[in-house]
Structure 1
Amino acid sequence: MSYLKIISKDKKIEFKVGDTLLNILQDNGILAESPCGGNGTCGKCKIKIIEGSINEPTEEEVKHLYKEELEGDIRLSCLVIPTGDLTVELLNTKDVKHKILAEGYMPEFDINPVINKRVHKLTKPTLEKNFSYEELLEEALEIAIYEDDHMLLRSLPEIFENQEVTAIYAGEKFIGVEAGDTSCELYGIAVDIGTTTVVASLVDLNSGKEISSESEINPQKEYGLDVLSRIDFTRTKANGLELLQNSIIDCLNNLTSELCSKNSININNIYEMTIAANATMMHLLLGVNTNSIGKSPYSTVFSRQKKLLASSIGIKLSLFARVYCLPGVSSYIGADIVAGSVVSELDKTDKNVLFIDIGTNGEIVLSKGGELSSCSCAAGPALEGMNISCGMRAAEGAIEGIKINEDGIRLKVIGNKEPVGICGSGILEGISEIVRAKLVGKTGRLKKKSDIEENDQLQYLSKYLIEEDRKRKICISSETKEISITQGDIRQVQLTKGAILSGFYALLDLLEIDMMDLNEVIIAGQFGKHLSVDSLVGSGIIPADLRGKIRYIGNSSKSGALMCLLSKEVREDMEKVAKKIQYFELSTKEGYDKLFTKCLNFN
């Protein structure tokens, strides 16, 4: 027998030589990400070989892994066959033991929810012990009942029709009772409120299992695409704040109702909702004036965690339900980024790790051995398909992939439908391909048609370049309608690139870290997970030298909310990390304008 050692888990596994590493891991309850089922076709089940004897890289591994990865002993676990003792380090894994599989990566944590239930035996009144129901309930629970709890008093006759009563607690605090034994019915909702999207997950608090999730476009978009336009709406519209609050509350209630209906769960058995959001979204959720966020010095009214009755803001759950709002840092580093930092364990690493949440804004956290610094850059909505001439959200008919070669332009369209527009991942890959094909110069200006026609290597591209009214664009499709990438579209992506890249370099400079000293770059966010490494590197958003260090963790904001729902200890960690993150205002950096301008250029 041979032994497999997993250093991140301090665990040894006994195995017989001859099986694949992926099978060995899965047989022992460790599930490495493997969308293709271990067939070697997806390239996702990456693992780092630390020490031991294994087979040489296969052709499929050479195809899926970059040269830098292979040189760094990164392999595909489904194609690795150990021939003896082996030591490995897990990379992108989802461990079934302490993790709930969701849209975003989650580290290991112990399930210990704040909301809990305890069943108590009831003593009925007798002629000899003719106490009131109220007194007998206090005796059973060994606590004093709230004197002003009218709803509890009204429920006592029903409660005493049973032999048992279920008390509901938030930590050790009594919050309500239910007739009979309802201990098996204990649910919560974890929510990520993004500027563009809202995601809600229904969770069984007893088992820790994520049952189902639903999502919607944030209805507040009707009042403005970004946070500044929504802040302005509340300032200029008399009932603007009320409209924005009502729209998000209605959205949460609709998502909750849908989750309950689809999973046959009584909404009265949902006792807590945990919410991660940026500062503006959190203020709007609670109906708190946002004017101070929209003007210098951009202060929030609050940034710490909030605990309140769900009914106090109109969220429809159990009568006893609470809402827990995760803590933030500043006006531009909100609870969503704190959640991502905890999910990524940035405060626990001894390495240099860069975390980037890509969305309407680009929030960046740099961990220098656990020392956390952050900044925010106005990335703009280009990567969401907005402000793009043929842009659209990621829906059926949206072009999400573009490849340019001598055989023509190949498109990947969501739903395999006729293309009707370009979503964020499509525009970024399109720009990356345009840069690679040398259709633009360093400044991002599209080349003249005559210059392309005179270049033997670029002649095949001339048919795609259109010049109209002294303006240029690249036509990528004309099947049902013309879909093009214009010079203006390229500028929009350049602004995004300049914002994110300059923030990236500014933080490195602040902490005196050389780019080559970065150990890892973590990409998070609702849209970040759709942006390929080739597109991020090809467009210049991420420097090419970091290609092999990029890791995706999906919607870490929702993951953080879900972890807070399931763990009192994670909630405490979240609050501590929020206090540790230092915020750096980019505009105060000497020479930042020059840095931003430099970062606009394509290399």
Structure 2
Amino acid sequence: MSEPIKIQISTPDGQQRVAWTLLGKSLWEALTQAGFDPGGTCGGRGICGKCKVKSAGQLSPMDEMERSLLLPDEINRGERVACRSTVLGQVTVTLPDERSAHDYGAVLWKTDSPGRVTCQRILLPGLDPHNPLPIHRRLRTALGKQDLMMPVETLQELSRMDRKGRPSLEVNALLMDGVVLRASRECARAYGLALDLGSTSLWAGLIDLESKETVAISSQPNMQRVFGADIISRISYCLENQDGLAELHQVLINNINAMIEDLLTTAAASVKDVYEMVVVGNPVMLHFFLGLPIAGLATHPCQGLFLDELTVTASSLDLNMNQGGKIVVLPQIGGFVGADTVSCLLNIPNWNKTKFILIDIGTNGEVVIGNRGKLWAASAAAGPALEGGQIRCGMRAAEGAIDRVIYQEEAGLAYRVIGNDYPRGICGSGVIDLTAALLKAGWIDSYGTINDKGRDQTIVQSGPDGEEFVLHDPQRAWPTKLVYTQQDIRQVQMAKAAIRTAIDLLLEKANLLPTDIQQVYLAGAFGNHLDPVNIVALGLVPQVKLDIIRPIGNAAASGAAAALVSLAKRQEAAIIQAQTTFVELADHPDFQSRFLERMNFEAIEI
């Protein structure tokens, strides 16, 4: 057996870490096995070229394929494609700062329901030597309850307090939904966790169940990304590897436990103080979370192992919370439309009285049409292009990403860069803005093709993916050469066609026209950063009045938080599920033809 090889790693926050690997492993494998995320969207298959890291040391020589995935400036800076670089000896790696510079989306929720937890101060009679009554009977009588549920630990603590000779016993009883969680000398706290399992990012909120206040929030990248950027890639990994499901489950549990640890540290709370968790996510992520087989979600018609609200014990998942607590998964709708969509709908004001469109734009987008209490939902396989994935110079919304592009006839294209430094890529909102700007300038036609006007008025060159625009700032030279290719535009067209076709077909199911719509809601953090003018101009959404397009932030997390503190919200979630018809777009006879029609851009003046 070969000796372990040392990998010295510099993290974005300046820390120095050490990982060990074996001779012949790829740098991507070494980093992911050590718990680091080198980036990328293909799960280390050597296709996307996004797992670029600055590295030095004993690595395999760069082959032509790897060289084609790197820009000359990146090669000069010592960057390598991690999954195409084999470790031959000691290596040093500097990880890029991929922490999101965008917030994860405002999580705004409110409920008028009373808190589920109360702390009652009770004076119990002491142990009467002439008529001794068990402490359990005395507590039950004091609370006026015939049936009293409590953990064994509470009886153990009461027994230590109940000494002979004491005339009375002052106890603070912590009750949730009428159940005694704990009885002790001091008034204890009870916390709950709201958890949104996104394919790309995870969000968790620690909530005081008595005051209903959010005391701490954490959001982190979903480390399952190293197995593939989208859920289809992760399903494939599970089916192709015997231990794939166990790996993805454990990575997710570790990810969540690290977030819980951060939350508890911030709130100065203990694991035993967390009694309940409400979880939302798409069906695949929920199956990964529970460690359930996903084979039924890999074939058509896709069907998971459960749809309705599901409650499991905390001890069954080895999570950092009270092991006597419970985990509640909100109901799902069907197909790939999961509890996260139901949770989003909990945020829609008067969802049962209005006509609206709800869109969660992502790799696996969801669309819901509401018509006065009746709902139709579908998933749209948009792919990662609208989030910067599968784009030649695409990247996450981090320092150095172009996130805004504006076209002015005299000045041309103007760019905004996160961090106000030189750009090194373009993120999802920038991709949408740039495409809309090229269309507005007339440099691409309605078919998305670079035309003569584009070639005359800007810099167009030939590249490995056909013609490509060279992005530049005439005021200052950029150290990194950025391009936007004909193939990039095609990726955007396919993504927008998937979402728009879903909207069109669901509107027909609901017997609505675009002019009937009263509100268009954009869910998710990404929706916060989209310009309504540009998404209408590209035909991503129908021609509606711009003032009815409203971002609602991380509505899935907000709904989970509301369902945590309000049993009425959980009942509402069940009603939403019952009122929603899932539509499998692939079964629609006109889906393919309608999709191809929506590939084109519409000639719209905004």
1:164 is matched with which residue?
Answer: 170
Q: CA deviation at 1:418?
A: 2.0
Deviates more, 1:130-139 or 1:389-398: 130-139
Q: Distance in 1 between matches of 2:463 and 2:312?
A: 58
Deviates more, 1:378-387 or 1:312-321: 312-321
1:442 is matched with which residue?
Answer: 446
1:585 is matched with which residue?
Answer: 584
Pick one of 284, 290, 307 that aligns with 1:286.
290
Amino acid at match of 1:243: E
RMSD: 2.4
Pick one of 199, 202, 209 that aligns with 1:198.
202
Cα–Cα, structure 1 residues 211 and 151, in superposed 2: closer, same or farther, change >3 Å?
closer
Contact kept, 8 Å, 2:237 with 2:244, in 1: the verdict is yes
Amino acid at match of 1:548: D
Q: Distance in 1 between matches of 2:284 and 2:121?
A: 41
Q: CA deviation at 1:212?
A: 2.8
**Superposed CA offset, 1:341-367 (max 9, x none):** 121146422x32111111112211111
Say whether residues 1:491 and 2:490 are aligned partners. yes
Q: CA deviation at 1:585?
A: 1.0
**Superposed CA offset, 1:262-311 (max 9, x none):** 23233332222111111111111111111101111101110111222222
Identity %: 29
Q: For residues 132-281 of structure 1, what are the structure 2 equivalents within 5 Å?
A: 132-141=134-143, 142-143=145-146, 151-160=153-162, 163-172=169-178, 174=179, 176-183=181-188, 185-281=189-285
Q: For residues 62-461 of structure 1, what are the structure 2 equivalents within 5 Å?
A: 103-106=106-109, 109-141=111-143, 142-143=145-146, 151-160=153-162, 163-172=169-178, 174=179, 176-183=181-188, 185-345=189-349, 347-349=351-353, 351-405=354-408, 406-448=410-452, 452=454, 459=456, 461=457
Cα–Cα, structure 1 residues 123 and 501, in superposed 2: closer, same or farther, change >3 Å?
same
Q: CA deviation at 1:230?
A: 1.5
Contact kept, 8 Å, 1:355 with 1:522, in 2: the verdict is yes
Amino acid at match of 1:555: N
Q: CA deviation at 1:217?
A: 0.6
Cα–Cα, structure 1 residues 532 and 452, in superposed 2: closer, same or farther, change >3 Å?
closer
**Superposed CA offset, 1:151-206 (max 9, x none):** 4554443454793334444423x3532312425x2322211111111111122222
Q: Distance in 2 between matches of 1:217 and 1:584?
A: 30
Query: Secondary structure at the residue paired with 1:200?
Result: strand
Say whether residues 1:471 and 2:466 are aligned partners. yes
Query: Secondary structure at the residue paired with 2:346?
Result: helix
2:499 is matched with which residue?
Answer: 500
Q: CA deviation at 1:465?
A: 1.9
**Superposed CA offset, 1:437-494 (max 9, x none):** 111112111124xx546xxxxx4x32x3223468211122361211111111111111
Query: Secondary structure at the residue paired with 1:595?
Result: helix
Say whether residues 1:541 and 2:540 are aligned partners. yes
Cα–Cα, structure 1 residues 472 and 341, in superposed 2: closer, same or farther, change >3 Å?
same
Q: Distance in 2 between matches of 1:282 and 1:396?
A: 31
Q: CA deviation at 1:593?
A: 1.0
Q: CA deviation at 1:500?
A: 0.5
Query: Secondary structure at the residue paired with 1:343?
Result: coil
Amino acid at match of 1:503: A
Q: Distance in 2 between matches of 1:171 and 1:467?
A: 66
Q: Distance in 2 between matches of 1:257 and 1:266?
A: 9
Runs of 4+ residues over 6 Å off in structure 1: none
Cα–Cα, structure 1 residues 283 and 593, in superposed 2: closer, same or farther, change >3 Å?
same
Q: Distance in 2 between matches of 1:331 and 1:114?
A: 33
Query: Secondary structure at the residue paired with 2:125?
Result: coil
Deviates more, 1:126-135 or 1:580-589: 126-135
Cα–Cα, structure 1 residues 469 and 370, in superposed 2: closer, same or farther, change >3 Å?
closer
Contact kept, 8 Å, 2:343 with 2:559, in 1: the verdict is yes
**Superposed CA offset, 1:223-271 (max 9, x none):** 2211112222222222222222222222222112111212323333222
Amino acid at match of 1:439: W
Q: Distance in 2 between matches of 1:494 and 1:213?
A: 36
1:481 is matched with which residue?
Answer: 480
1:513 is matched with which residue?
Answer: 512
Q: Calculate the TM-score normalised by the size of structure 2.
A: 0.76
Amino acid at match of 1:411: Y
Query: Secondary structure at the residue paired with 2:226?
Result: helix
Q: CA deviation at 1:131?
A: 4.0
Query: Secondary structure at the residue paired with 1:497?
Result: helix
**Superposed CA offset, 1:307-328 (max 9, x none):** 2222221111234422221111
Cα–Cα, structure 1 residues 139 and 237, in superposed 2: closer, same or farther, change >3 Å?
farther
Cα–Cα, structure 1 residues 268 and 484, in superposed 2: closer, same or farther, change >3 Å?
same
Amino acid at match of 1:163: L
Contact kept, 8 Å, 1:159 with 1:165, in 2: the verdict is no
Cα–Cα, structure 1 residues 208 and 154, in superposed 2: closer, same or farther, change >3 Å?
closer
Contact kept, 8 Å, 1:307 with 1:323, in 2: the verdict is yes
Amino acid at match of 2:433: E
Deviates more, 1:324-333 or 1:153-162: 153-162
Amino acid at match of 2:394: G
Q: Distance in 1 between matches of 2:573 and 2:149?
A: 31
